């Protein structure tokens, strides 16, 4: 995003309190969205991509935006960034209404949308950081120390003077993140920031995101289909489906609120028993004697399976008694029973009806190019 006279702080991203200002705890949130709606097209063929969404993101927090393909995440982010004009609703960034003054409101906002595509590949890593600091309105010499720290923490120091085009994909992605942070943005939108990264690079990037939020007060809105990344990094998760927010809570609260799932172990649990249970209960997983787990019909075991030995069933409260009755009626001698904590992925499937990364009610894309194109346009650059 174009940034105006961005701050030239060299060690911290957070504003602190200046004389005459309200204390930090009274400061407006980094992002406040109210009643935001966006419909594409007219008449019967129109799509209500975002449907009356309200969302507040506190300073220094990391919020994960999740949802199946077509849920409205991209449109919501585009509306928030001013790339798409919403039909109704308001967006305030650090208290500033974006319709009152776009340039000022977005002064400390930036976005990394599909990673490496936004960098200048012919420039070196350090030249990219200096360039993006400059277009953010910051003298690059004044933030040299900040750039050194970013390069160090993202393990890019050895490549600082290498043209970006010569780097691996993972490194390019880390350069993109560094570029986004080079000018001192205080609110950043990161679209699939770890997509395609190897395990080590992903870990480095996650660690740096956590540190930036915790130590420097950076506010991050992160969209990802990777539940591990979301669990690892995000303070809070906002799930969207069909243009609406269907859940907004911490990972722990979402998992604990998902209801009890019990795991029943027994040599008597075979395919016939599982089929019987499926008629009355929500069977979440089946564990075979080979140790493979089948979830929601997606079998991942090999060919030589002899049959399940454990089954996971959603059975909180009275349903547990019903389950025990059903097992007894099916001639199953229970060898072990335990409560299983649902994964964030289970919560996602429950709320949206689809697996992460799959389409929701609409398989169509945005129809107007992806976010990375929009971001590149808004920043006036091309790789």
Q: Under the criterion CB under 6 A, does residue 281 sit at the interface with ligand ATP?
A: no
Q: Under the criterion CB under 6 A, does residue 358 sit at the interface with ligand ATP?
A: no
Residue 47 vs 93, nearer CB to ligand ATP: 47
Q: Under the criterion CB under 6 A, does residue 356 sit at the interface with ligand ATP?
A: no
DSSP for 149-186 reads HHHHHTT-GGGTTSBGGGS-HHHHHHHHHHHHHTTT-S
Q: Under the criterion CB under 6 A, does residue 364 sit at the interface with ligand ATP?
A: yes
Q: Under the criterion CB under 6 A, does residue 353 sit at the interface with ligand ATP?
A: no
Q: Under the criterion CB under 6 A, does residue 86 sit at the interface with ligand ATP?
A: no
Question: Do residues 151 and 71 make contact, with C-beta atoms less than 8 angstroms apart?
Answer: no
For residue 248, the minimal CB distance to ligand ATP (Å) is 16
In the sheet that holds 47-57, the strands lie side by side as: 47-57, 31-40, 88-93, 96-97
Q: Under the criterion CB under 6 A, does residue 319 sit at the interface with ligand ATP?
A: no
Closest CA relative to residue 103, chosen from 188, 190, 10, 4: 4
Residue 101 vs 357, nearer CB to ligand ATP: 357
Among 7, 37, 69, 266, contact with ligand ATP (rule: CB under 6 A)? 69
Among 19, 297, 367, 380, contact with ligand ATP (rule: CB under 6 A)? 367
Alpha carbon distance 349, 29 (integer Å): 30
Residue 75 vs 108, nearer CB to ligand ATP: 75
Residue 225 vs 381, nearer CB to ligand ATP: 225
Among 74, 118, 202, 352, contact with ligand ATP (rule: CB under 6 A)? 74
Closest CA relative to residue 140, chosen from 149, 150, 128, 151: 128
Q: Under the criterion CB under 6 A, does residue 60 sit at the interface with ligand ATP?
A: no
Question: Do residues 67 and 231 make contact, with C-beta atoms less than 8 angstroms apart?
Answer: no
User: In DSSP terms, which residues pair with 349 in a beta bridge?
Assistant: none
Residue 47 vs 181, nearer CB to ligand ATP: 47
Q: Under the criterion CB under 6 A, does residue 67 sit at the interface with ligand ATP?
A: yes
Question: Do residues 267 and 94 make contact, with C-beta atoms less than 8 angstroms apart?
Answer: no
Question: Do residues 38 and 365 make contact, with C-beta atoms less than 8 angstroms apart?
Answer: no
For residue 350, the minimal CB distance to ligand ATP (Å) is 18
Question: Do residues 106 and 3 make contact, with C-beta atoms less than 8 angstroms apart?
Answer: yes
Question: Do residues 182 and 133 make contact, with C-beta atoms less than 8 angstroms apart?
Answer: yes
Among 71, 143, 197, 313, contact with ligand ATP (rule: CB under 6 A)? 71
Q: Under the criterion CB under 6 A, does residue 368 sit at the interface with ligand ATP?
A: yes
Binding segment for ligand ATP among 21-29, 68-76, 285-293, 336-344 (CB under 6 A)?
68-76
Binding segment for ligand ATP among 69-77, 118-126, 277-285, 312-320 (CB under 6 A)?
69-77
Q: Under the criterion CB under 6 A, does residue 140 sit at the interface with ligand ATP?
A: no
DSSP 8-state assignment for residue 127? H
Residue 377, SS3 per DSSP = helix
Closest CA relative to residue 228, chosen from 374, 361, 354, 348: 348
Residue number of the CB atom closest to ligand ATP:
74
For residue 359, the minimal CB distance to ligand ATP (Å) is 7
Question: Do residues 217 and 60 make contact, with C-beta atoms less than 8 angstroms apart?
Answer: yes
Q: Under the criterion CB under 6 A, does residue 362 sit at the interface with ligand ATP?
A: yes
Alpha carbon distance 294, 227 (integer Å): 18
Q: Residue 362 is encoded by which pair of tokens?
A: 């609409």
Per-residue x/- track, 18-57, ligand ATP (CB under 6 A): ----------------------xx-----x-x--------
- List of residues contacting ligand ATP (CB under 6 A): 40-41, 47, 49, 67, 69-75, 362, 364-368
């Amino acid at each position: 995003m174009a940034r105006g006279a961005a701050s030239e702080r060299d060690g911290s991203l957070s504003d602190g309190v200046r004389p005459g200002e309200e204390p930090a705890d009274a400061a407006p949130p980094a992002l406040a969205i109210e009643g935001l709606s966006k419909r594409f097209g007219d008449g019967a063929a129109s799509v209500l991509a975002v449907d009356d969404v309200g969302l507040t993101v506190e300073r220094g927090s990391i919020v994960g935006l999740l949802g199946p393909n077509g849920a409205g995440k991209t449109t919501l982010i585009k509306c928030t960034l001013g790339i798409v004009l919403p039909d109704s609703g308001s967006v305030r960034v650090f208290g500033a209404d974006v319709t009152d003054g776009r340039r000022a409101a977005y002064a400390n906002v930036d976005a990394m949308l599909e990673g490496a595509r936004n960098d200048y590949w012919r420039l070196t890593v350090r030249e990219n950081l200096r360039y993006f600091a400059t277009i953010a309105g910051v003298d690059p010499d004044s933030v040299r120390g900040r750039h050194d720290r970013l390069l160090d923490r993202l393990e890019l120091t050895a490549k600082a003077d290498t043209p970006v085009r010569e780097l691996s994909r993972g490194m390019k992605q880390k350069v993109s993140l560094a570029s986004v942070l080079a000018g001192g943005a205080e609110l950043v939108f990161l679209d699939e920031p770890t997509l395609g990264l190897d395990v080590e690079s992903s870990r480095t990037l996650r660690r740096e995101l956590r540190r930036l939020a915790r130590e420097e007060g950076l506010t991050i809105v992160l969209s990802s289909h990777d539940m591990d990344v979301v669990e690892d990094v995000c303070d809070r998760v906002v799930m969207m489906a069909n243009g609406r927010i269907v859940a907004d809570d911490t990972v722990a609260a979402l998992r604990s609120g998902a209801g009890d799932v019990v795991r029943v172990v027994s040599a008597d649990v075979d395919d016939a028993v599982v089929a019987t249970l499926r008629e009355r209960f929500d069977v979440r997983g089946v564990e075979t004697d080979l140790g493979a787990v089948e979830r929601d019909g997606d079998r991942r075991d090999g060919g030589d399976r002899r049959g399940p030995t454990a089954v996971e069933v959603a059975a909180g409260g009275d349903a547990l008694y019903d389950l025990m009755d059903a097992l007894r009626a099916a001639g199953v001698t229970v060898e072990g029973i335990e409560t299983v904590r649902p994964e964030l992925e289970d919560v996602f499937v429950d709320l949206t009806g689809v697996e992460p990364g799959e389409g929701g009610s609409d398989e169509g894309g945005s129809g107007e190019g992806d976010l990375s194109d929009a971001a590149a346009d808004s920043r006036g650059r091309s790789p």
